[in-house]
């Protein structure tokens, strides 16, 4: 089964689809100048994109700038060992917090900008009625994870200034390929 590669502009204005040949080579034609993030859809069952490297950078997380030059030699790597980060959120009284939202974002602030429309390394999940949360399929790397109450959650939570404030009180977690980690969290009230 072949997968489809999608190059998504970091500015989220349009999508350029690539064609995959039988030998696994993919090509895009007529891509306008701009910054792009690579995405993959339709990966074989049980496999997910690990990274797409170009010039030593993972262009699934860091935008590549195209300015009339061809970007050749992009290498896609897939994994059948996804990560899982889970745990329970508790409030200040130690009770399970069903009203919490868990935010996960890269420890490196460079990963907070030009992330495209569906960032792989920035996630937001609601805790369940028992305070439990689970985030599957984060790429390997260093992350901040933090639980905030519903009132503190903002539609623009991916804004670098907001993430900078969250990072000061977040817990740092390192995920390697195939890691299954548990991280207990305490809800921050009022975003602090």
Residue 16's SS3 state is strand
Dist CA 108 CA 114 (whole Å): 13
**Contact assessment for residue 66 and residue 37, using Cβ atoms and an 8 Å cutoff:** no
Dist CA 151 CA 99 (whole Å): 9
CA 134, distance to chain mean position in Å, is 14
- Which pLDDT score, from 0 to 100, does residue 6 have? 53
Q: Which residue has the tokens 């069903």?
A: 98
**Contact assessment for residue 35 and residue 64, using Cβ atoms and an 8 Å cutoff:** yes
- Which pLDDT score, from 0 to 100, does residue 184 have? 97
- Which pLDDT score, from 0 to 100, does residue 190 have? 56
Along the 192 residues of the chain, how does pLDDT read in single tens digits?
Answer: 445 555 544 444 456 777 778 887 877 777 788 888 777 777 778 888 888 888 888 887 777 888 877 777 788 888 899 899 999 999 999 999 999 999 999 999 988 887 777 788 999 999 999 999 999 989 999 999 999 987 767 778 989 999 999 999 999 999 999 999 999 999 987 544
Prediction pTM value:
0.77
Q: Which residue has the tokens 């992009």?
A: 74
- Which pLDDT score, from 0 to 100, does residue 15 have? 67
Q: What is the DSSP string of 64-95?
A: EEESSS-----EEEEES---EEEEEEE-TTS-
Contacts of 156 (CB under 8 A, 6+ apart): 162
């Amino acid at each position: 089964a072949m997968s489809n590669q999608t190059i998504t502009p970091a500015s989220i204005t349009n999508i350029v689809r690539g064609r995959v040949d039988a030998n696994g080579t993919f090509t895009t034609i007529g891509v306008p100048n701009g910054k792009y993030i690579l995405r993959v859809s339709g990966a074989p069952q049980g496999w997910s994109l690990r990274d797409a490297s170009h010039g030593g950078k993972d262009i699934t997380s860091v935008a590549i700038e195209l300015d009339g030059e061809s970007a050749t030699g992009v290498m896609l790597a897939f994994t059948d060992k996804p990560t899982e980060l889970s745990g329970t959120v508790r409030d200040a009284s130690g009770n399970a917090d069903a009203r919490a939202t868990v935010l996960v974002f890269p420890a490196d602030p460079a990963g907070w900008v030009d992330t495209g429309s569906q960032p792989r390394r920035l996630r937001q999940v609601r805790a369940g009625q028992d305070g439990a949360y689970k985030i599957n399929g984060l790429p390997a790397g260093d992350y901040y994870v933090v639980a905030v109450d519903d009132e503190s959650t903002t539609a623009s939570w991916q804004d670098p200034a907001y993430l900078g404030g969250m990072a000061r009180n977040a817990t740092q977690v390192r995920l390697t390929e195939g890691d299954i980690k548990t991280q207990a969290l305490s809800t921050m009230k009022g975003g602090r």
